Amino acid sequence: MSDTRPAGDPDLTTYRDVQLSPDFSDLRRRFRRFVFPMTALFLVWYFLYVLLAAYAPGFMSHKVGGNINVALLFGLGQFVSTFAITMIYVRWADRRIDPDAERMRHQIEGEPK
C-alpha cells in the first residue's frame, strides 16, 4: 500500500485508519449486537421471575410432580441460564471474536510503517 496519509501525527492517522476501516466497525458492531441483546434478555428473565412470583402465585405453585413446583424449576432455571449465558458468551468470544481480532492484527502490523 502506498502511503497516502496527510502530514501530521503519524500515530493519529493510524488510529483514524483503524477507526474508519470496515473491519473495525464490523468487529465492534458484531460485539454490540451480541452483548447488548443478551444483557437485556437476561435482565428481563430475572425481572419476569420476580413478577410471576408476585402476581401469578397459582401458576408458580403449580405442582409438576412430587414436591416440585414451577417456581422451584424456574428458580433453578435461573442458575442454569446464568451459567449457560456465560458459557455461550465465552465460546462465542473464543470463536467469533478472537480469530477476527487476530486477522486484523496481521493486517495492521503487516502495513508498511
Partner 1 sequence: MSSAMSLTAIGLVVLATIGIGLFGLRISRTTSDFYVASRAVTPRWNASAISGEYLSAASFLGVAGLVLVNGADMLWFSVGYTVGYLMLLVLVAAPLRRSGAYTLPDFAETRFESAVVRRICSGLVVGIGTLYLLPQLHGAGLTVQTVTGAPPDVGAAVVAVIVVFNVAAGGMRSITFVQAFQYWLKLTALATPIFVILIAWRSGDHPAGVLQSLQGAASEWSEPLSRAGGRDHPLYATYSLLLALCFGTMGLPHVLVRFYTNPDGRAARRTTVVVLALLGLFYLFPPMYAVLGRTFAPDLVSAGADTVVLELPNRILPGTAGDLLGALVAAGAFAAFLSTSSGLTVAIAGVTDQDLFRSRLHRWTGGDYVAVNSFRIAAVLSMTVPYLAFLVTGSLSLADTVGLAFAVAASTFCPLLVLGIWWRRMSTTGAAAGLVVGGVAASAAALINVLGGPDGGWPKALVGQPAAWTMPLAFITVIVVSKLTPDKIPAGAARSMVRLHTPEAVDVDRGLPSR
Query: Of 6 and 79, which has the nearer Cβ to partner 1?
Result: 79
Q: Which residues pair with 65 in a beta bridge?
A: 68
Residue whose entry in the numeric block shows the C-alpha cell 410432580 = 65
Residue whose entry in the numeric block shows the C-alpha cell 497516502 = 4
Name the 3-class secondary structure at 11.
helix
Q: In whole angstroms, how large is the CA radius of gyration of the chain?
A: 24
Question: What is the nearest approach in angstroms of partner 1 to the Cβ of residue 18?
Answer: 5
Residues that bind partner 1 (CB under 8 A): 11-12, 14-16, 18-19, 24, 27-28, 31-32, 35, 38-39, 42-43, 46-47, 50-51, 53-54, 57, 78-79, 82-83, 85-87, 89-90, 93-94, 97-98, 101-102, 104-105, 108-109
